[in-house]
Amino acid sequence: MKRLKKNPLETLPSAKRAFDILVSFSLILVLSPLLAIVALLIRLESKGPVFYYSYRVGMNYHIFKFYKFRSMRTDADQLVDKMKHLNAYGQSEKGDQEIQELTRDKIISLGMEAVRLQDEGILTERAYEQQKEKAEAQAFVKFENDPRITKVGKWIRNLSIDELPQLFNILIGDMSLVGNRPLPLYEAEKLTSDESIGRFMGPAGLTGLWQVTERGKKGVDAKSRCALDIHYAQNHNFWMDIKILAKTPLAAIQHENV
């Protein structure tokens, strides 16, 4: 993935950055006893590090280490490929159009603008668009009743406590308090269409427009999530951020195991 040179700190409004520093530093001080208790519970339940990090893609395709309390088994990342059929975003009621070995007469009848030449064979335009939509839907990964989650992990995830270490990401400038969720590399590299890249023009955030409107719901639609991200990237301002922060505590207590 191509990484742009411009750092988020260079493009964030100064008022937003100052607000991020003040609030994140204050929250770290106030919540330090809770952070210590959670760290102890994680260590007591299972072997492995207390914190988990992965490389994420944020604003302007800035790649950084994204920190969370570990809520999963230590081999969770290795199990993703085996569980892709359970992805809540990738499931579709529409059947895929199969790759067809079209005859010359069939191609002529469809018109060259209605077919696509692929390495695997010849696709109708309709089949090509369905494959493209499916690939972008699967860019967002989410599992219902994820078996990789530990007992303590389920508790801290339902209350969004696992996200608190990202306050340090905010303090150093990788993220903002409010923005679009930074994506893992394998998800971000699939969002390459003109309709999708707009989400990366907004700051990466601890909470955001999607979290306070769609989080925890079943039947999540990847297109609507991306549309919300793009809307925030194009329209975010201080008062929008305040409204999202005000709604975040209630949204943080999710009721679905997704």
Cα(1)–Cα(61) distance, rounded to whole angstroms? 9
Strand partners, 87: 143
Say yes or no to pLDDT of 93 above 90.
Answer: no
Q: At residue 196, what is the residue type?
A: S
In a shared domain, residues 221 and 167: yes
In a shared domain, residues 131 and 142: no
In a shared domain, residues 80 and 147: yes
Cα(66)–Cα(206) distance, rounded to whole angstroms? 11
Report, as an integer, the average pLDDT of 220-234: 84
Q: Which of 135, 169, 203 is the last residue of a domain?
A: 135
Share of the chain above pLDDT 70, in %: 62
Residue 115: domain span: 91-135
Q: Is residue 115 part of a domain?
A: yes
In a shared domain, residues 19 and 79: yes
In a shared domain, residues 110 and 170: no
Query: Model confidence over 147-158: pLDDT tens digits?
Result: 778 889 989 988
Q: Between 77 and 248, whose confidence is greater? A: 248
pTM (whole model) above 0.85: no
Q: Is residue 117 part of a domain?
A: yes
Q: Is residue 229 part of a domain?
A: yes
Q: Which DSSP helix (H) or strand (E) runs through 69?
A: strand 63-69
Residue ranges in 46-102 assigned as alpha helix (H): none
Q: Give the chain's domain count.
A: 2
Q: Is residue 239 part of a domain?
A: yes
- Contact in structure between 110 and 124 (CB atoms under 8 Å): yes
Cα(230)–Cα(95) distance, rounded to whole angstroms? 28
In a shared domain, residues 222 and 118: no
In a shared domain, residues 144 and 110: no
The pair phi, psi for residue 92, each rounded to 5°, is: -140, 145
Q: Is residue 257 part of a domain?
A: no
- Contact in structure between 122 and 103 (CB atoms under 8 Å): no
Q: On the CB side of 102, how many CA atoms lie within 13 Å of its CA?
A: 22
Report, as an integer, the average pLDDT of 160-184: 94
In a shared domain, residues 168 and 224: yes
Closest CA to 71 of 44, 88, 51, 54: 51
Report the mean per-residue pLDDT for the chain.
76
In a shared domain, residues 117 and 151: no
Q: Between 178 and 106, whose confidence is greater? A: 178
- Residue 206 has which token pair? 């601890």
Q: Is residue 200 part of a domain?
A: yes
Q: Is residue 2 part of a domain?
A: no
Query: Model confidence over 10-61: pLDDT tens digits?
Result: 678 889 999 999 999 999 999 999 999 999 999 998 888 999 898 999 998 8
